[in-house]
Structure 1
């Protein structure tokens, strides 16, 4: 009963503010304020406010929220444990280097020189040269 009274008072105050705003010739703002002020009355008329008031003061409803929270904690806890167990084995597998029998590991062709500040150039393949030639042609076409 008190919730309905409070909602009605809030709506009446909102409509009063909308009238004052409309008097100041700000009709768009007045219409928006009137729309917001009608929402509490609409909620009272549909019964949502009564349902919320009954739920807020019901010990059974709060116990139900507690049970739902416990279920959510169990779901998230078991999910985290699954990820940790699956992720640990996966990390060990990924950490080990993959070696194929009969394939040698790539080595650098030139030793690193301590005073050399520029990185060693990677050998170019024929496909890489073709890609750059296409890019050069596009840049020349646009005059760059």
Structure 2
């Protein structure tokens, strides 16, 4: 009973605001406000508000929601355990790691003939400590 009264009061207030908006010659906004204002009364008339109020105050409904939540947790938990167990022996995981197979691997392999040098002489080896020389030069240029 209280929910229906609140919905009716909200609709009446919204329609009042729509009338004031229409008086200010903003007809499109007034029509939109009137449409929003009629929604609570429509929900009361269809019985949705009574159903929601009965569900929200029903201990049986809350117990049902609790059971649905527990069932969802069981489904999610078993799915996670199933994925963790299937990680080592799954054929799908091995297929994903292998990637797509080439139709003709020899045809798509790059030519690594005489033109490739072992390593350019101007470039230092990875272990010499010159890895950050470019970054240091940029920072010095900006005064950092």
In structure 1, the gaps of 5 or more residues are: 96-105, 118-144
User: Residues 65-123 of structure 1, C-alpha deviation per residue, up to 9 Å, x if partnerless?
Assistant: 0000000111111112222222333456747xxxxxxxxxx995445314367xxxxxx
Q: Which residue of 1 aligns with 2:119?
A: 113
Q: Which residue of 2 aligns with 1:55?
A: 55
**TM-score, normalized by length of structure 1?**
0.66
Cα gap change, 1:113 to 1:48, in 2 (>3 Å): same
CA distance in 1, matches of 2:121, 2:25: 77
In structure 2, the gaps of 5 or more residues are: 99-109, 124-144
Q: Which residue of 2 aligns with 1:11?
A: 11
Cα gap change, 1:80 to 1:48, in 2 (>3 Å): same
Query: Residues 1-144 of structure 1 correspond to what in structure 2 (within 5 A)?
Result: 1-90=1-90, 94=97, 108-109=112-113, 110-115=116-121
**TM-score, normalized by length of structure 2?**
0.66
